[in-house]
Amino acid sequence: MNKYDWLLFLHVTGAFLVLGGAVMAGTFNFAALKRERPSEVAVLFRLARVAVAAIGAGLGLTLIFGLWLVHNVGYGWSQTWIVLALVLWVLASAMGGIGGGREKQTRELAERLAAEGDAPSQELSARLRDPVWLALSWGSGAVVIAILALMIWKPGA
Amino acid sequence: MMLALVRPDSWNFPLFLHVLGAGVLVGAVGATVIIATRAPTLRRLLVGTIGFLVLPAWVLMRFAGQWIDSREDIPGDPSWLGVGFIVGDAGLVLLVVTALIAWWGLRRPERRWPVRAVAVISGLYLIALFVAMWAMTTKPD
């Protein structure tokens, strides 16, 4: 394996961690929407923390080795697909970061409610169905798919 | 180096679907492993994840892979492609067995071995998926 192979492998590994992590997080969040008991919601949101770790590691790998690949291959830094990919990477990271913060608050609320009798709560239900949080979480996943499309089609290359 | 990175436009859509399917498959199998190891009582979610996410993602990955293989018409029988086919096709057998075991575990909640078996098989398949990803990405020989 030459240097290019290693860089590409680590970049693609990062992409799979991001995409796979988004799928895992989406699975657990979707399952949480169907639960009413706070203890069950808390369990699912704790599972989602593994997905968040995978997404974080993947975002780092894709950026570091993606930039290294651009330099190694000799792509122009101003090519449309590279600029768009970087903009969308920042957007996906920001959306995921804000959504993750709200998710942490929801998990903490679910854990507190579970410790206080585990009765269904309207506040928790409203938080789970908060349209802003849902838009941030699912929107960041859609942005990740858009980045994947850019990597395949490479417009402007 | 640049020449090696150029591919006909007609390959892009099947390649996109193949990589998307593979990415979703990695996430779905990862979710299966996490549920089986960290929340083994959520057996209905385990079965649902395998049935409604893992298997459809495998179908997307495999059929899109076949589609792009028919477009590329790769000469010879390179080992990287063989690794992809083995992990893909043998993976279906493993995934169907995993689904049956998970379903059995749902019907027999007092038994712990089905969830453990699902965790082991899914974990091994997750490793195999990353090996296939390495082979398909770096294309040794």
The pLDDT of A4-30, averaged and rounded, is 96
**Angstrom distance (rounded) from CA A52 to CA B34:** 13
Report residue B5's pLDDT band, with 50, 70 and 90 as the boundaries: low
> Does residue B53 sit at the A interface (CB-CB below 8 Å)?
yes
The pLDDT of A49-60, averaged and rounded, is 96
**A15: which chain B residues are within 8 Å (Cβ-Cβ)?**
23
> Does residue A7 sit at the B interface (CB-CB below 8 Å)?
no
**Angstrom distance (rounded) from CA B16 to CA B24:** 12
Please tell me the predicted confidence (pLDDT) of residue A140.
95
Residue B34 lies in a domain: yes
> How many domains in chain B?
1
> Does residue B15 sit at the A interface (CB-CB below 8 Å)?
yes
Q: Is the pLDDT of residue B30 over 50?
A: yes
Q: Closest Cα partner for A30 from B53, B61, B17?
A: B53
Return the structure tokens found at B141. Answer: 């020989």
Given a contact cutoff of 8 angstroms between Cβ atoms, the answer to whether B15 and A12 are in contact is: no
Residue B48 lies in a domain: yes
Q: Is the pLDDT of residue A95 over 70?
A: yes
Chain A, window 11-30: residues with a beta carbon less than 8 angstroms from a chain B beta carbon: 12-13, 15-16, 19-24, 27-28
Residue A156 or residue B43, greater confidence: B43
Please tell me the predicted confidence (pLDDT) of residue A64.
97
Please tell me the predicted confidence (pLDDT) of residue B4.
45
Model's pTM, two decimal places? Answer: 0.94
Inter-chain CB proximity A73 and B31 less than 8 Å: no
**Angstrom distance (rounded) from CA B72 to CA A85:** 26
Q: Is the pLDDT of residue B2 over 70?
A: no
Given a contact cutoff of 8 angstroms between Cβ atoms, the answer to whether B71 and B26 are in contact is: no
- Range(s) of the domain holding residue B48: 12-138
Inter-chain CB proximity B133 and A16 less than 8 Å: yes
The pLDDT of B76-85, averaged and rounded, is 88
Q: Quick one: closest CA in A to B49, which residue?
A: A27
Please tell me the predicted confidence (pLDDT) of residue B3.
42
Query: For a pLDDT cut of 90, what percent of chain B falls above it?
Result: 79
**Angstrom distance (rounded) from CA A96 to CA A80:** 24
The pLDDT of A90-119, averaged and rounded, is 94
In whole numbers, what is the pLDDT of chain B averaged over residues? 92
Please tell me the predicted confidence (pLDDT) of residue B76.
79
Highest mean pLDDT range out of A29-38, B67-76, B132-141? A29-38
Q: Closest Cα partner for B125 from B93, B84, B92, B91?
A: B91
If 0-12 CB within 10 Å is exposed, 13-18 middle and 19+ buried, where does residue A106 land?
A: buried
Q: Is the pLDDT of residue A112 over 90?
A: yes
Please tell me the predicted confidence (pLDDT) of residue A157.
79
DSSP 8-state symbol, A52: H
Q: Is the pLDDT of residue B6 over 80?
A: no
Q: Quick one: closest CA in B to A21, which residue?
A: B27
Q: Quick one: closest CA in B to A5, which residue?
A: B138
Q: Where are the domains of chain A?
A: 3-153
> Does residue A146 sit at the B interface (CB-CB below 8 Å)?
no
If 0-12 CB within 10 Å is exposed, 13-18 middle and 19+ buried, where does residue B120 land?
A: middle
Query: For a pLDDT cut of 70, what percent of chain B falls above it?
Result: 95
> Does residue B133 sit at the A interface (CB-CB below 8 Å)?
yes
The pLDDT of A59-75, averaged and rounded, is 95
Each residue's pLDDT tens digit, A119-151: 999 999 999 999 999 999 999 999 999 999 999
> Does residue B126 sit at the A interface (CB-CB below 8 Å)?
no
Given a contact cutoff of 8 angstroms between Cβ atoms, the answer to whether B132 and B58 are in contact is: no
Please tell me the predicted confidence (pLDDT) of residue B139.
87
> Does residue A70 sit at the B interface (CB-CB below 8 Å)?
no
* Minimal CA separation from B85 to chain A, in Å: 19
- Which residue, among B12, B19, B25, B44, would best test binding to A if mutated, counting the most A CBs under 10 Å from its CB? B19
Q: Is the pLDDT of residue B106 over 50?
A: yes
